[in-house]
Chains A and B, each alone.
Chain A
Amino acid sequence: MDFLRPQNLAEALALKAERPDAVPIAGGTDVMVELNFDHRRPAALLDLNRVGELAGWSASDAGVRLGACVPYTRVIAELGDRLPGLAMAARTVGSPQIRNRGTVGGNLGAASPAGDTHPVLLVTGARIEAASTRGTRLIPADEFYVGVKRNALADDELITAVHLPASEGAQQFSKVGTRNAMVIAVCSFALAIENYQVRAAIGSAAPTPRRVPEAEEFLAGELPWGSPLPDSLKRRFGELVAAAARPIDDVRGTAAYRKHALSVLARRTLGWAWQDILGRDSACA
Chain B
Amino acid sequence: MTTTEQATGTANGIGTSPRRPDGTGKVRGEFAYSSDLWHEDMLWGATLRSPHPYARIKGIDLTEAVAVQGVYAVLTHEDVPGVNRYGLEHADQPVLAVDVVRYQGEPVALVAADHPETARRAMKRIKVEYEVLEPVTDVVKAVSGEGARLHPGGNIVRHVPIRHGNPNATAEVVVTGSYEVGMQDQAFLGPESGLAIPAEDGGVDLFVATQWLHVDQRQIVAALGLPEEKVRLTLGGVGGAFGGREDLSIQVHACLLALRTGKPVKMVYNREESFYGHVHRHPATLHYEHGADRDGRLVYVKARIYLDGGAYASSTPAVVANAATLGVGPYDVPNVSIDCWGTYTNNPPCGAMRGFGAVQAGFAYESQMDRLAEACGLDPVEVRLRNAMSEGSVLPTGQVVDSAAPVAELLRRLTAKPLPPAPLEERDLRTLPGGVSNTTHGEGVVRGVGYAVGIKNVCFSEGFDDYSTARVRLEVVGGEPAATVQTAACEVGQGLVTVLQQIVRSELGVERVTILPMDTTIGNAGSTSASRQTYVTGGAVRAACLAVREALGPLSPYELGDKVLDETVEWRHRPTETLDPETGAGNAHVQYGFAAHRAVVDVDVDLGLVKVVQLDCAQDVGKALNPQAVLGQIQGGSAQGLGLAVMEEIQTRDGKIRNPSFTDYLIPTVLDMPPMSIDVLELADPHAPYGLRGVGEPPTISSTPAIVAAIRAATGQALTRVPVRPEHITGT
Q: Is the CB of B439 within 8 A of A265?
A: yes
Selected from B664, B670, B671, the residue in CB contact (under 8 A) with A251 is: B664
Residues of B within 8 A of A95 (CB): 669
B446 to chain A, nearest CB (A): 14
B666 at the interface (CB under 8 A from A): yes
B732 at the interface (CB under 8 A from A): yes
A91 at the interface (CB under 8 A from B): yes
Q: Is the CB of A256 within 8 A of B732?
A: yes
B517 at the interface (CB under 8 A from A): no
B491 to chain A, nearest CB (A): 28
Q: Is the CB of A179 within 8 A of B726?
A: no
Residues of B within 8 A of A186 (CB): 726
Interface pick from A46-54, A156-164, A167-175, A205-213: A167-175
Residues of B within 8 A of A180 (CB): 430, 433-435, 437, 609, 611, 669, 671-672
- Report the separation of the CA atoms of residues A253 and B730 in the bound assembly, to the nearest whole angstrom: 12
B391 at the interface (CB under 8 A from A): no
Residues of A within 8 A of B730 (CB): 257, 260-261
Interface string of A167-207 (1 = CB under 8 A from B): 00000111111111111101000000000000000000000
Q: Is the CB of B436 within 8 A of A251?
A: no
Q: Is the CB of B609 within 8 A of A176?
A: yes
Number of inter-chain CB pairs below 8 Å: 99
B725 at the interface (CB under 8 A from A): yes
- Report the separation of the CA atoms of residues A17 and B300 in the bound assembly, to the nearest whole angstrom: 77
Residues of B within 8 A of A181 (CB): 435-436, 669-672
Highest count of chain A CB atoms <10 Å: which of B436, B437, B443, B727: B437
- Report the separation of the CA atoms of residues A252 and B440 in the bound assembly, to the nearest whole angstrom: 20
B393 at the interface (CB under 8 A from A): no
Chain B residue nearest in CB terms to A76: B436
- Report the separation of the CA atoms of residues A271 and B440 in the bound assembly, to the nearest whole angstrom: 11
Chain A residue nearest in CB terms to B672: A180
Count B-side interface residues using an 8 Å CB cutoff: 40
A229 to chain B, nearest CB (A): 14
Chain B residue nearest in CB terms to A37: B272
Interface string of B606-636 (1 = CB under 8 A from A): 1111010000000000000000000000000
- The residues in B between 662 and 711 inclusive whose CB is less than 8 angstroms from any CB of A are 663-664, 666, 668-672
Q: Is the CB of B441 within 8 A of A254?
A: no
Residues of B within 8 A of A179 (CB): 647, 666, 668-669, 672
Q: Is the CB of B732 within 8 A of A251?
A: no
Residues of B within 8 A of A261 (CB): 607, 726, 730, 732
Q: Is the CB of A175 within 8 A of B727?
A: no
A88 at the interface (CB under 8 A from B): yes
A36 at the interface (CB under 8 A from B): yes
Chain B residue nearest in CB terms to A174: B438
Residues of A within 8 A of B438 (CB): 88, 91-92, 172-175
Residues of B within 8 A of A88 (CB): 438
Selected from B270, B669, B670, the residue in CB contact (under 8 A) with A36 is: B270
- Report the separation of the CA atoms of residues A176 and B672 in the bound assembly, to the nearest whole angstrom: 15
- Report the separation of the CA atoms of residues A183 and B436 in the bound assembly, to the nearest whole angstrom: 11
A112 to chain B, nearest CB (A): 11
B704 to chain A, nearest CB (A): 16
A61 at the interface (CB under 8 A from B): no
B390 at the interface (CB under 8 A from A): no
Residues of B within 8 A of A183 (CB): 437, 666
Q: Is the CB of A182 within 8 A of B669?
A: yes
B56 at the interface (CB under 8 A from A): no
Residues of A within 8 A of B668 (CB): 179
Residues of A within 8 A of B726 (CB): 176, 178, 186, 253, 257, 261
Residues of A within 8 A of B387 (CB): none
- The residues in B between 384 and 429 inclusive whose CB is less than 8 angstroms from any CB of A are none
Given A37-B272, A92-B436, A251-B651, A264 and B607 touching (CB < 8 A)?
yes
Chain B residue nearest in CB terms to A188: B437
- Report the separation of the CA atoms of residues A252 and B666 in the bound assembly, to the nearest whole angstrom: 10
Residues of A within 8 A of B672 (CB): 179-181
A91 to chain B, nearest CB (A): 5
Q: Is the CB of B727 within 8 A of A257?
A: yes
Selected from B436, B606, B661, B725, the residue in CB contact (under 8 A) with A178 is: B725
A81 at the interface (CB under 8 A from B): no
Q: Is the CB of A38 within 8 A of B120?
A: yes
A268 at the interface (CB under 8 A from B): yes
A272 at the interface (CB under 8 A from B): yes
Q: Is the CB of A176 within 8 A of B437?
A: yes
- The residues in A between 227 and 285 inclusive whose CB is less than 8 angstroms from any CB of B are 251-254, 256-257, 259-261, 264-265, 268, 271-272
- Report the separation of the CA atoms of residues A256 and B731 in the bound assembly, to the nearest whole angstrom: 9
B343 to chain A, nearest CB (A): 24
Q: Is the CB of B120 within 8 A of A92?
A: no
Q: Is the CB of B120 within 8 A of A174?
A: no
B76 at the interface (CB under 8 A from A): no
Q: Is the CB of B437 within 8 A of A92?
A: yes
Residues of A within 8 A of B609 (CB): 176, 178, 180
Highest count of chain B CB atoms <10 Å: which of A38, A177, A178, A253: A178
- Report the separation of the CA atoms of residues A251 and B652 in the bound assembly, to the nearest whole angstrom: 9
Q: Is the CB of B659 within 8 A of A251?
A: yes
B658 at the interface (CB under 8 A from A): yes
Residues of B within 8 A of A253 (CB): 725-727
Highest count of chain A CB atoms <10 Å: which of B441, B611, B669, B732: B732
A30 to chain B, nearest CB (A): 11
Q: Is the CB of B607 within 8 A of A176?
A: yes
- The residues in B between 440 and 466 inclusive whose CB is less than 8 angstroms from any CB of A are 440-441, 443-444
Residues of B within 8 A of A184 (CB): 663-664
Q: Is the CB of A254 within 8 A of B435?
A: no
Chain B residue nearest in CB terms to A33: B663
A178 to chain B, nearest CB (A): 6
A249 to chain B, nearest CB (A): 10
B393 to chain A, nearest CB (A): 40
Residues of A within 8 A of B441 (CB): 268, 272
- Report the separation of the CA atoms of residues A13 and B607 in the bound assembly, to the nearest whole angstrom: 45
- The residues in A between 68 and 112 inclusive whose CB is less than 8 angstroms from any CB of B are 88, 91-92, 95
Q: Is the CB of B434 within 8 A of A176?
A: yes
Residues of A within 8 A of B430 (CB): 180
A151 to chain B, nearest CB (A): 21
- Report the separation of the CA atoms of residues A272 and B732 in the bound assembly, to the nearest whole angstrom: 25
- Report the separation of the CA atoms of residues A38 and B430 in the bound assembly, to the nearest whole angstrom: 35
- Report the separation of the CA atoms of residues A264 and B120 in the bound assembly, to the nearest whole angstrom: 46
Residues of A within 8 A of B725 (CB): 178, 253
B604 to chain A, nearest CB (A): 9
Residues of B within 8 A of A272 (CB): 441
Question: Given A92-B438, A257-B608, 4 other A-B contacts at CB below 8 A?
Answer: A174-B438, A178-B725, A178-B726, A179-B666
What are 14 sample pairs from A and B whose C-beta atoms fall under 8 A apart? A33-B663, A92-B438, A174-B437, A176-B609, A178-B725, A180-B611, A253-B727, A257-B727, A260-B732, A261-B732, A264-B607, A265-B607, A268-B441, A272-B441
**Pairs A-B, 10 closest by C-beta atoms:** A260-B732, A180-B435, A181-B671, A175-B437, A180-B671, A257-B727, A251-B659, A181-B669, A179-B666, A256-B732
